[in-house]
């Protein structure tokens, strides 16, 4: 391995690694804009200039591969002056409109001009070159050409990642700008990533624009629930409102990207939420208390089993539930209600679209987990629906806001065949409009657990903030229901459930939250 | 002095294949086919042939950078994008002796084991491209290009490709990008074209004049060529003299000619008895010389010793009475217009230089502007992927260093003392 000395520190560096990457490993921060670890090296922003012994000129750290014995300094006066000089040139035509720019607070340009103290401009204000602002270039993106530093990350992303090449450089010299071709807006399902990789405020998200200053947001690690890919995301929130999802890097799953559909899934965690438990009496909603409703639901399910036999009780599981929840639900149904009528479906209305990158046809985060935990899909679900339609079920527990791909009318008609329907769900929907008892569930941002992706990768999603209204963690709901059905469970939280799951379920054997870690772990085959 | 290139340039018909052959054209190619490729490369090395495109890199050494591995096809690209202001020598070769270039290409390709050659010609050279096209067609028809050239078994295809009017496409890697149909942006190096060049092939890019010298080298031998010049600078050079001299034009001179001699004797001295003020010796990018600095030989090393370059040997003569601020302003407009926009320092810096120099010339210069220009130059020089920023900085710095008092006077008087107006 080549040896590199940087600012007096000597380290071994893997063959072929750049100075910039090697420096990052030992905490030497080299400012940069055009460099992005997931894109090709452009070397055109010229911010990462460093001094290398025996090189007459400063070199770009991003594009210079470490050779054995290389001696690099990033802290000399020569480097400082050069980098300050490049930064000044980047700023001369920039509008410096940070107070009204969405990127403020997470802007590489802003960070560096503060750091290098370039508060006074040597450039005459009247000489600034003006370019087009607020251009809707399609997808989720707005372009402000004046803020652009022409680093080419977006152009390379659309060339190398999506292959759609909608953005290109136009004109030359200080009139250069990026733009779409006339009449050809962004046309791919990954446009949101452009706002993420843009190091400045040139490409901003239409969805997030002007909604919140970024420094007011907090973030937690989550998993996208938009499909079975299991893209790792950072969820950004303020109070109990989610503002945006950003891809969290995981080379095994989504690298540094996520799709435009997934990016907007946070909205349903903010809107039309079920906030209080209620029962439906003579068609009218009547707010209920958890303390009385939970025992009531348990009693009704048990009573139906006792009266008509366990075969007249059914449970519909949801692939939106976590592994932990599905594990408890299966045990509740099979062990404590004693019914075989347990199934789920991965089908939802409008599903099926997929591509060869991230987007999967299955629009649920945990269909694979449900299958691995022994909950049947497909024909078993269809059979259960037929049985319900035929009036064969007296009490039904439904997890989720929808029953498969059924429309609101179809759901209402189906559930009308069952005398007692209890639902555990997060949002208003076809089921909550028809169920007898509704138990509001915490959203994925308000609870924690694991999902199993389509390839069998178990990944953790973390707790963000306390559940809205009176919604409860479904693990708590299930433990409470189970215990009223005689389960005698002493689970406290999803972690204890996962320990039990890992002990008894072969695909998950030997797994723990620790072993899953930040990036997930594949189930045993 | 013996001429390598221009002996028959006065003959209008020399551009035609039959006339060219009457004067011994394509005999060098026959001789080359009897030699080994290595022997040809050795002669070029012995010739001390320095690249004529401005940087003066030894051609034989450059040829040696091609990988030894012959499994991948290679390419030869001729840089005929002559865009440097003050330079007009390659145009003369292409219009007066296009077959010199084509024969040079055939010999060089044989030596480099290349079967595909592109001549990338400046977009504005419409007439030149037409002449070149005709010459290439003649060569194909006569079996001097194409399959099995002169029965040697050697195949070579030559394509004339016109550029689209960008100065930057004279830089070899943006030339390659442009040739490939991409935006003319210089490429980050490494990889150098000799490993990954045109269409991914190992590629040698040479200037028109460099390649046109090759037939003579093969005919007369590298040592003979070297002896025409001076140490490390073999052969002759085409020197283009422009400005108020009695006989402006292109002259073939020894690579070791004296610059003062070029102006006062070869080009016939100053027009109308004007006094010489300054000389830009090698195309607009090269640092300017004061009139008292020009008694110097024109070879690459001698010019470097006095802080300038022989460059593309485009000698621009500037007479007394010329406002140096205005002259620089013209140059700064050019570089700001031609910066490709890829690297920050050049994209923004050339535009800023243009505005600062323009402001001084207009009588709106501010105290400290000259220091600002010099500091800006320092922040641009050597900080970019290609040398365009350097090409803008070198005139800016040298004009100020050598004619500082004119800049100061513009600012102090808030007008151009020469009364120049844009």
ipTM rounded to 2 decimals: 0.93
Pairing of strands A177-180, A420-425: unpaired
Positive/negative CA dihedral, A429, A430, A433, A434: negative
Q: Which of B184, B196, B345 is best to mutate for the A interface (most A CBs within 10 A)?
A: B345
At which residue do the structure tokens 């009528």 appear?
Answer: A341
Positive/negative CA dihedral, B308, B314, B315, B319: negative
Chain A nearest CA to B194, separation (Å): 19
What are the residue ranges in chain A where pLDDT is below 70?
none
Nearest-CA neighbor of B345 among A49, A171, A56, A65?
A49
B83 CB neighbours in chain A (<8 A) are none
Residues facing A420 on adjacent strands: A395
Average pLDDT over all residues of chain B: 96
At which residue do the structure tokens 């084509």 appear?
Answer: B102
- Judge residue A483's burial from the number of C-beta atoms within 10 Å of its C-beta, 0-12 exposed, 13-18 middle, 19 or more buried: middle
> Contact B348/A92, CB-based, under 8 Å?
yes
Chain A nearest CA to B385, separation (Å): 7
Which residue in the set A58, A122, A176 is minimally distant from B341, CB to CB?
A176
Which residue in the set B347, B376, B383 is minimally distant from A173, CB to CB?
B347
Beta-carbon pairs below 8 A across chains A and B: 92
- Judge residue B103's burial from the number of C-beta atoms within 10 Å of its C-beta, 0-12 exposed, 13-18 middle, 19 or more buried: buried
Nearest-CA neighbor of B241 among B221, B263, B223?
B263
B378 CB neighbours in chain A (<8 A) are 81, 85
Which residue in the set A93, A122, A124 is minimally distant from B348, CB to CB?
A93
Q: Which of A44, A60, A122 is best to mutate for the B interface (most B CBs within 10 A)?
A: A44
Whole-angstrom Cα distance, residue A336 to residue A310?
Answer: 10
Residue B167: closest C-alpha in chain A: A172
> Contact B351/A173, CB-based, under 8 Å?
yes
Look at residue B32 and tell me whether its pLDDT is greater than 70: yes
What Å distances lie between residue A479 and A287, A314, A326, B44, B326, CA to CA?
Answer: 22, 18, 12, 87, 86
Length of chain B: 422
Which residue in the set B337, B339, B345 is minimally distant from A46, CB to CB?
B345
Are B47 and B226 within 8 A, CB to CB?
yes
What Å distances lie between residue B4 and A369, B230, B241, B267, B397, CA to CA?
Answer: 81, 15, 19, 19, 36
Cα angle: A171, vertex A176, A182; to 5 degrees? 55
pTM: 0.94
Secondary-structure percent of chain A, ordered helix, strand, coil, rounded to 5: 30, 20, 50
Over the range A469-482, which residues count as b (16 or more CB within 10 Å of their CB) and which as e?
Answer: ebbbbbbbbbbbbb
Whole-angstrom Cα distance, residue B103 to residue A48?
Answer: 46
Whole-angstrom Cα distance, residue B248 to residue B328?
Answer: 22
- Written as six digits, the tokens of B383 are 């900080």
Which residue in the set B345, B355, B382 is minimally distant from A89, CB to CB?
B345
**pLDDT given for residue B422 in this prediction:** 45
> Contact B348/A90, CB-based, under 8 Å?
yes
Residues facing A243 on adjacent strands: none
**pLDDT given for residue B421 in this prediction:** 55
Whole-angstrom Cα distance, residue A343 to residue A336?
Answer: 16
Are A430 and A277 within 8 A, CB to CB?
no
Q: What is the dihedral of CA A504, A509, A512, A515, to 10 degrees?
A: 180
Q: Strand order in B276-280's β-sheet? A: B249-254, B236-242, B314-319, B276-280, B289-290
> Contact A150/B339, CB-based, under 8 Å?
no
How many distinct helices (H) and strands (E) make up chain A? 15, 23
Chain B nearest CA to A82, separation (Å): 6
Average pLDDT over all residues of chain A: 96
| Number of other residues whose CB lies within 10 A of the CB of residue A37 | 12
Cα angle: A390, vertex A391, A395; to 5 degrees? 135
Which residue in the set B342, B349, B382 is minimally distant from A89, CB to CB?
B349
pLDDT band per the 50, 70, 90 thresholds, residue B266: very high
Pairing of strands A177-180, A167-170: antiparallel
Chain B nearest CA to A164, separation (Å): 16
Residue B369: closest C-alpha in chain A: A122
> Contact B341/A174, CB-based, under 8 Å?
yes
- Judge residue A81's burial from the number of C-beta atoms within 10 Å of its C-beta, 0-12 exposed, 13-18 middle, 19 or more buried: middle
Whole-angstrom Cα distance, residue B260 to residue B237?
Answer: 16
> Contact B345/A85, CB-based, under 8 Å?
yes
A56 CB neighbours in chain B (<8 A) are 382
Residues 6+ positions from A77 with CB-CB distance below 8 Å: none
DSSP code at position A311: G
Length of chain A: 525
Are B118 and B157 within 8 A, CB to CB?
no
| B111-170 residues touching A, CB cutoff 8 A | 166
Chain B nearest CA to A207, separation (Å): 30
DSSP code at position B381: T
> Contact A171/B341, CB-based, under 8 Å?
yes
> Contact A86/B183, CB-based, under 8 Å?
no
Please tell me if residue B332 touches chain A, with a CB cutoff of 8 Å: no
Please tell me if residue B374 touches chain A, with a CB cutoff of 8 Å: no
Residue A33: closest C-alpha in chain B: B344
Are B189 and B384 within 8 A, CB to CB?
no
pLDDT in tens, B287-325: 999 999 999 999 999 999 999 999 999 999 999 999 999
Residues facing A451 on adjacent strands: A459
Backbone angles phi, psi at B313, to 5 degrees: 50, 45
Pairing of strands B157-162, B116-121: parallel
> Contact B352/A46, CB-based, under 8 Å?
no
Please tell me if residue B390 touches chain A, with a CB cutoff of 8 Å: no
Alpha helix (H) residue ranges in B35-187 = 37-46, 59-63, 89-96, 98-112, 126-141, 172-179
> Interface of chain A against chain B, CB under 8 Å?
41-47, 49, 56-58, 63, 81-82, 85-86, 88-90, 92-93, 122-124, 127, 129, 149-150, 168-169, 171-176
């Amino acid at each position: 391995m080549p040896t590199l000395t940087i600012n007096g520190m000597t380290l071994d560096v893997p063959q072929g690694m750049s100075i910039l990457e090697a420096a990052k490993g030992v905490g030497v921060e080299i400012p940069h804009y055009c460099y992005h670890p997931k894109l090709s090296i452009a070397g055109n922003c010229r911010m990462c200039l460093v001094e290398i012994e025996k090189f007459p000129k400063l070199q770009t750290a991003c594009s210079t591969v470490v050779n054995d014995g290389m001696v690099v300094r990033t802290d000399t006066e020569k480097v400082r002056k050069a980098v300050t000089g490049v930064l000044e040139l980047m700023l001369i035509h920039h509008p410096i409109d940070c107070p009204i720019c969405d990127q403020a607070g997470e802007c590489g340009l802003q960070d560096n001009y503060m750091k290098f103290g370039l508060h006074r401009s040597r450039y005459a204000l009247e000489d600034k070159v003006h370019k087009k602002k607020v251009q809707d270039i399609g997808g989720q993106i707005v372009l402000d050409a004046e803020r652009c530093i022409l680093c080419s990350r977006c152009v390379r992303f659309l060339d190398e990642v999506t292959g759609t090449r909608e953005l290109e450089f136009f004109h030359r010299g200080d009139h250069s700008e990026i733009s779409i071709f006339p009449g050809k807006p962004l046309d791919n399902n990954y446009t949101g990533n452009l706002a993420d990789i843009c190091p400045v405020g040139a490409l901003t998200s239409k969805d997030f624009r002007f909604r919140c200053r970024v420094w007011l947001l907090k973030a937690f690690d989550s998993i996208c629930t938009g499909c079975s890919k299991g893209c790792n995301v950072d969820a950004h929130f303020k109070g109990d409102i989610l503002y945006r999802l950003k891809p969290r890097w995981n080379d095994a799953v989504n690298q540094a990207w996520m799709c435009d559909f997934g990016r907007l899934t946070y909205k349903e965690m903010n809107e039309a939420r079920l906030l209080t438990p209620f029962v439906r009496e003579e068609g009218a909603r009547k707010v209920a208390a958890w303390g009385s409703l939970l025992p009531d639901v348990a009693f009704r399910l048990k009573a139906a089993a006792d009266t008509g036999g366990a075969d007249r009780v059914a449970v519909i599981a949801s692939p939106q539930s976590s592994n932990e929840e599905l594990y408890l639900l299966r045990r509740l149904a099979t062990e404590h209600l004693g019914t075989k009528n347990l199934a789920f479906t991965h089908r939802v209305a409008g599903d099926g679209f997929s591509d060869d990158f991230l987007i999967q046809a299955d629009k649920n985060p945990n269909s694979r987990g449900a299958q691995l935990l022994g909950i049947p899909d497909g024909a078993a679900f269809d059979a259960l629906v037929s049985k319900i339609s035929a009036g064969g079920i007296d009490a039904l527990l439904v997890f989720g806001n929808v029953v498969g791909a059924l429309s609101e009318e179809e759901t209402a008609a189906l559930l009308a065949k069952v005398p007692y329907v209890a639902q555990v769900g997060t949002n208003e929907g076809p089921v909550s409009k028809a169920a007898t008892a509704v138990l509001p569930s915490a959203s994925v941002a308000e609870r924690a657990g694991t999902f199993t992706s389509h390839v069998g990768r178990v990944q953790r999603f973390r707790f963000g903030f306390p559940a809205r209204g009176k919604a409860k963690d479904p693990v708590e709901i299930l433990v409470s229901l189970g215990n009223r059905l005689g389960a005698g469970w002493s689970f406290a939280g999803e972690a204890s459930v996962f320990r039990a799951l890992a002990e008894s379920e072969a695909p998950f054997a030997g797994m723990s939250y620790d072993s899953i870690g930040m990036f997930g772990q594949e189930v045993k085959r | 002095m013996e001429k390598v290139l221009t002996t028959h340039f006065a003959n209008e018909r020399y551009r035609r294949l039959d006339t060219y052959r009457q004067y011994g054209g394509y005999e060098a190619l026959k001789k080359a086919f009897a030699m080994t490729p290595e022997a040809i490369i050795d002669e070029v090395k012995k010739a001390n042939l320095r690249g004529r495109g401005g940087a003066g890199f030894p051609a034989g050494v450059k040829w040696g950078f091609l990988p030894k591995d012959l499994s991948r096809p290679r390419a030869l690209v001729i840089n005929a994008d002559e865009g440097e202001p003050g330079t007009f020598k390659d145009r003369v070769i292409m219009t007066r002796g296009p077959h010199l270039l084509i024969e040079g290409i055939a010999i060089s390709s044989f030596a480099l084991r290349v079967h595909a050659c592109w001549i990338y010609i400046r977009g504005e050279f419409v007439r030149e491209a037409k002449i070149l096209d005709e010459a290439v067609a003649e060569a194909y028809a006569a079996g001097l290009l194409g399959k099995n050239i002169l029965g040697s078994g050697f195949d070579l295809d030559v394509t004339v490709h016109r550029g689209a009017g960008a100065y930057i496409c004279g830089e070899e890697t943006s030339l390659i990008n442009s040739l490939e149909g991409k935006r003319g942006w210089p490429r980050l190096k490494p990889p150098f074209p000799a490993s990954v060049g045109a269409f991914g092939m190992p590629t040698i890019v040479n200037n028109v004049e460099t390649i046109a010298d090759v037939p003579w080298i093969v005919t007369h031998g590298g040592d003979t060529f070297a002896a025409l010049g001076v140490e490390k600078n073999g052969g002759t050079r085409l020197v283009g003299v422009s400005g108020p001299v009695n006989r402006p034009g292109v002259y073939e001179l020894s690579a070791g000619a004296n610059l003062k001699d070029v102006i006062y004797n070869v080009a016939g001295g100053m027009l109308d008895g004007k006094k010489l003020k300054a000389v830009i010796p090698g195309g607009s990018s090269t640092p300017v010389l004061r009139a008292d600095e020009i008694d110097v030989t024109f070879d690459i090393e001698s010019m470097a010793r006095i802080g300038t370059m022989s460059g593309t040997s485009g000698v621009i003569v500037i007479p007394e009475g010329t406002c140096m601020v205005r002259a620089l302003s013209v140059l700064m407009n050019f570089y700001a217009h031609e910066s490709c926009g890829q690297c920050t320092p050049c994209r923004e810096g050339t535009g800023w230089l243009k505005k600062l120099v323009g402001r001084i010339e207009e009588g709106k210069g501010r105290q400290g502007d000259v220091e600002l220009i010099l500091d800006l130059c320092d922040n641009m020089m050597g900080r970019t992927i290609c040398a365009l920023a350097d090409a803008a900085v070198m005139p800016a710095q040298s004009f100020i260093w050598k004619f500082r008092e004119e800049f100061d006077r513009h600012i102090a008087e808030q007008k151009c003392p020469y009364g120049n107006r844009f």
